[in-house]
Structure 1
Amino acid sequence: MLKEFIIKRANLLTEITLAIMVFLYTYFTVITFAPVNGYIGDEVWYPTAAYNILKLVFHVTPPMYFPYSQEANIQTYINPEHPPLAKYIMDLFILLMGYKPIAWRIGSWIMGDLMVIVGFLLARKLVGGELGNVAGLVSALLIMLSPNLWLLHGIAMLDIYVGSFILLSLYFLLSDNLLLASITLGLAMASKESAFPLILPFLYYVGEFKKSPIQRAVYGIGIPASVYAILSVPIMVYFGGISGWIHNSFLFMLGWDATNGHIALTAIDQISTPWDWFLDIHPFYVGYNFYASTNPFIMWAWVVTTPLAFIVRDLKSIILTMSAWTMWLAFCVVYILGNHTLFSFYVTDFAGIIDVYVTVSIFKFYKWISTRRTEKVNNIVSKEDLGSSQNVG
């Protein structure tokens, strides 16, 4: 009874601490980003596209309290080169508040808070036991301190949406809730196509539970693809049907990702390759003295700790780190295919996974070493007891 009481008290204290952390994260988010009454970085594209989706796709025209950005053809642009879900979420707040900076950023703020909470829950579940709460709080803190996540959760771009839904999908997957994992993977895919490569580690893990190829295909591909397709229906209608959507959006998206054109190649101080992210080379500048910096310490900690998952032979940890590596390798493939205009803020797509994995791997390795040491001591004691018994006999 006493042990259960202590555990409940520890859990309550931990959850109160997490609530305070999330409150502070939200507070500093609001006071940092709400006062910026202008477009920050690629906000010149996404909130305007969200408003145009309301106007041109759903035929709803909320009041505009802020002018369009000055990009070419911006008044009819719906961002067909990326999936629509993040813009839909922006639209909810634009409908409620009208078209203005605070409205289009609130969705990102919520997704940032969600990532902190999910990071805590995932680390606590994977580590478990008395150290689970500590691991959860450390993971949440690393997410909060990530410079890339801090910027991207503060402004209206797509990457915080895909990063948050990916982490949520992995939480459900590694909790063995395959249905919710599949649905949330579909939400990530419907936020940005950088989530597509996660199908590979997803299929591998599902195979541990569903030996039937059909079942694996349903959970690993069918359900996520269906969620993606359902959320794309309004865009399909706008382009005149499935064929028009495939040509003007889906195939256009794949071609866009594999070619240069995201920025002029001469803007070398803005462009960074996937290997540059490990040294924070050329962090993307979005204006207002904001940079999408990476955290080299955590990036290299990820490299160093990845073997630990294999040493302790923990499948869940392996899936976690390999999910992040799969996404990083996908960006390398995109670079090889010809897109040499990549940016540091792409790290946001998998930064949450890294922050959780580094924490989990260290705690699990510590527990593994402690268990082996205890077993070794017990074996020695058992042999000594056996020898003593034989001598007495």
Structure 2
Amino acid sequence: MQLKWINFFFYLSLIVLISVYTYETVITFSPINAYIGDEVWYPTAAYNMLKLVFHVTPPPMTNIGYPNEQNIQTYINPEHPPLAKYIMAVFIYFVGYYPIVWRIPSWILGDLMLIVGYFLGKKLVSNGILGNLAGILTALLIALDPNVWSLHGIALLDIYVSFFSFLSLYFLLNDKPLWASIALALAMLSKESAYVLIFPFLYYLGEISNNVKKRAIYGIGIPALIYILFSTPLIAYYGGIKAWLDATIIHRALWDVTNGHITLTATSQISTPWDWFLNIHPFYLGYNLYASTNPYVLILWIITTPLAFIFRDSKLITTTMWAWTMWIGFVIVYILGNHTLFSFYVTDFMPVVDAYVVVSLFKLVQKINILK
């Protein structure tokens, strides 16, 4: 069979998968005309940013109203970077303050994630039938992941950092460091869990180039520049760089390593990084939605990680360490004192895990066939 027909068949399969995924997303999440879980913080912060940061008149507040939280009418969520709120604010400004409106960006990113997963799986295996099969299985595994499913349907930050970090990895492994650097910056602007990705990013840059200057520019310079540029409205809002640093970066660092995200007595909602591997205490988001994990894939990830090092494959090593680095970041946060972590953080790195598990197993089969 000619390659173009093989590609056509799998592209068609991907389109069908995305269509079904989109349909199920719309019929599941659009009827919920209320705040879901932590949506009480982020769409409201986006709405407030329109007034307080960008000085534009937002659309009238709808019947849903502000949630019953202290100081919510002036809250702009300094505990997290601003990009996701910026994107929500654009949709709210042009369409209105409705749950379906602030969720649409998450739905779009969820669909795009399947596309990235397909092409990443294909890239890491081959351009033939096996590569296409690895790609479509990667996309399918992401689509079936219960954690990603719940989080892509609502307006939280995790789907944003998940998508942009996944996109950064795709560009990086395609040896397109500029685009990878830009996507990494967008991930860091979505949620601080992406900050640690600078380490695997720099590792892979070192594998493809011995130029220290190039590594510094793509790994540090460009992400830092983009981060500051996107933060300019907030710098102006707070009245200068020092005030902005105090109110956001420093405040964020202190907030991330302390308890208080939820009461410590809410044990059924708290899930440690090692709990995630066994789906212990999946976070209840409301409306019969749980941020459950997939223990089978996560345990397979542990088992297959040594393969990347056994094969001495820098792309495989970077892929698995991309996810492990984020997981280790949460472990460090726990060690530093924040014992109120949640299972929905798994979405931040789970698409990478899904891709790695599929690709590593395909690579294993290829190696076995070569030995035979």
TM-score by structure 1 length? 0.93
Equivalents in 2 of 1:88, 1:23: separation in Å? 27
Matched to 2:272, the amino acid is T
- Structure 2 residue 11 is the aligned partner of structure 1 residue 15: yes
- Structure 2 residue 141 is the aligned partner of structure 1 residue 145: no
- Structure 2 residue 57 is the aligned partner of structure 1 residue 63: no
Equivalents in 2 of 1:283, 1:67: separation in Å? 28
Q: Structure 2 unaligned segments of length 5 or more: list them.
A: none
- Mean Cα deviation higher: 63-72 or 170-179: 63-72
Q: CA deviation at 1:212?
A: 2.6
Name the counterpart of 1:119: 117
SS at match of 1:207: helix
Equivalents in 2 of 1:365, 1:310: separation in Å? 12
Q: Structure 1 unaligned segments of length 5 or more: list them.
A: 374-393
Equivalents in 1 of 2:16, 2:328: separation in Å? 36
SS at match of 1:285: strand
What does residue range 1-393 of structure 1 map to in structure 2 within 5 Å? 6-60=2-56, 61-65=58-62, 66-128=64-126, 129-373=128-372
SS at match of 1:59: coil
Equivalents in 2 of 1:367, 1:70: separation in Å? 56
**CA-to-partner distance for each residue in 1:104-157, whole Å, 9 max, x for gaps?**
000100111111110111000110133000000100000000000000000000
Equivalents in 1 of 2:214, 2:109: separation in Å? 31
- Percent identity over the alignment is 63
SS at match of 1:190: helix
Matched to 2:116, the amino acid is V
Equivalents in 2 of 1:21, 1:328: separation in Å? 29
**Structure whose alpha-carbon radius of gyration is higher:** 1
Equivalents in 1 of 2:61, 2:234: separation in Å? 22
Equivalents in 1 of 2:314, 2:226: separation in Å? 27
Equivalents in 2 of 1:95, 1:19: separation in Å? 31
Q: CA deviation at 1:226?
A: 1.3
**CA-to-partner distance for each residue in 1:210-261, whole Å, 9 max, x for gaps?**
3232221111111111111111111111100111100011100111111111
Equivalents in 2 of 1:250, 1:311: separation in Å? 39
**CA-to-partner distance for each residue in 1:12-48, whole Å, 9 max, x for gaps?**
1100110110011000000000000100000000000
- Mean Cα deviation higher: 48-57 or 88-97: 88-97
Matched to 2:113, the amino acid is M
Query: Contact between 2:300 and 2:357, CA under 8 Å: does it hold in 1?
Result: yes
Equivalents in 2 of 1:117, 1:209: separation in Å? 25
Q: CA deviation at 1:99?
A: 0.6
Q: CA deviation at 1:209?
A: 2.6
Query: Contact between 2:168 and 2:180, CA under 8 Å: does it hold in 1?
Result: yes
Equivalents in 1 of 2:100, 2:129: separation in Å? 41
Equivalents in 2 of 1:95, 1:189: separation in Å? 24
